[in-house]
Structure 1
Amino acid sequence: MELQHFSHSDHPLVFNKDERMGLPCYGCREPIFGPSYSCMKCNELKFYHHKLCAELPLGLHHPLHPAHPLILIDESTGYLQKENSKCIVCKEFCWEYSYCCYRCDFNIHIKCGVLELEAEFHDHPLTPICKLITFTCDLCGKEDKGVPNLCSSCGFWIHNKCAHFPEKIKVARHRHLLHLTHSSLELHESDSRFCQLCVQKVETRFGLYYCSRCDFVAHLDCAMVKENREDTDLQELKDEGLEHDEIIGTFEVKKINVGEDGTQQFIEIAHFSHNHDLKFTHEVLSNEKCDGCVQAILSPFYSCVNCSFFLHESCAKLPKRKRHPLHRHSLTLFPTEPGDFFFMQCMSSKMQWLRLSV
């Protein structure tokens, strides 16, 4: 697929469905991970674009300037060099694509003017807040003054730069893919973790790159450094079975309750160990045991309304696969007969060797 672009009239831009070199996009200056366009005949990095940036409309009507249509321009060409022609939102002159009204000296960067943004690692669209405010990014954990993006469904605030982090990445010092996570089921706020690329402490409340097979943790920025990244075909690694479902657990979320502080609670799930959906409850029970670890059931927990099946919240959220220091292979979680317990088995040696305990 080819595209004739206004910024490069000499040759058409060629589509690449999964660019992973992290080259800067000429349109928005953010690194490219995913679908992109580039010129295959010119050996210049300026002609690399995100798919969305390359396919921007040449003109549009924007709610921040309803009086006149805006025209897409290349800010680096030198047309906008006046103080009053800086971006109306971020007040900066960033040498990137922007939408301009020639009559009113109105200018807005494409990043500041976007009405909806999609991130690889987040399920919902992100909406830029077109106002300079002080906020803490929920992915990198840094406080900043700027134009954040908000997921209204999750109460999730994020930098524009952070929204472009890839969901998966390969670093040279680790043989498996690392997955970006900001709500890992295996990592908790109280855990003391160290980045295995820079050997500095990792704040697990925020985003990080993680390999569940090896319990390998890396800072977002450390994994993104060009010297640490390994440019490889991620599809080939995916075919080896390194699927994301190895770190998201053993259940499907049916219903979610979002609290006033933005925290999420899975109030109904479908768990791999049971035929019926399980509901979250704080009910106090006596003489009942968890069907995962066979320990006394304590509030809160998940239960089946159709039969006497109970799971601690922590047992329900166990990962499907996990590394253990006493064995060289990853272990897979299995349920036994109803009323018994979970156990972990090595699929390489086909030996059941670890009964679940909490």
Structure 2
Amino acid sequence: MKFQDNQHFSHKHILNALKLDIGKKIDCIACENPITEPFHGCYSCNYYLHDQCLNIPRSLQHICHPSHPLTLLPNPTYSSQSFSCNACGSKGNAFSFSCAHCEFDLHIQCAKLPAKILIEKHPHELSLLFNSPYKDENIVFVCDECHGTANRDNWVYYCFHCDFGTHSNCATGNVTRKEEANSSQSCNECLMESTAHKFLEIEASNEAQEKSRLEAQFNAQGRNAVLDLVDGGSHRKYYYY
């Protein structure tokens, strides 16, 4: 049902259609992503929802969990006040689709992932799988986008023809803020590692140049010594490197 009466089950106050102030950055309570218009909210509580998040259905029958319907929850019901998404494996603190019987939880973004997707790095469509494409438990899935691994029960996008696959988040860009921080840290670590490699390469190059210079000097001195034996060095110029 579309949100029409300005009252949402997740909040006790009326939510009004709002305009985003220039320069103001606020996040959606449901998906935790930055608010963009159109959106509704409650200024007194700093409670804001994208309109698309506002109109999410209260229940969902998902193909990945056919045993029970999933219920939309505004807050995790676990004592930790967070949940672990069965799709991407990352933590969540906001809205989720949940099955209380099975302790099965999905980010709302993960719950609506498309069955197939195209990405720039691969020419074929990737299919959404709800677990590892490899039957052998000793084979670890490695993402061809970020080169990180995935647990066997995490969702991945995969091309069977090319054995090419990615994390679901890497394929769609559905990255939580915590993952962004980890990604940024990983990028910084990669940059530091790359810089260190370049430094070592430069050092190796400099050592090779110095070695060549010394070899040339040694060879020249050897030639000079031979000429000294032949003519006593009376008509010869010396060159130093």
Could you say which structure has the larger radius of gyration? 2
- 1 or 2 for the larger relative contact order (CA 8 Å, sep ≥6)? 2
* TM-score, reference length from structure 2: 0.48
Give the structure with the larger helix fraction. 2
Provide the TM-score with structure 1 as the length reference: 0.35
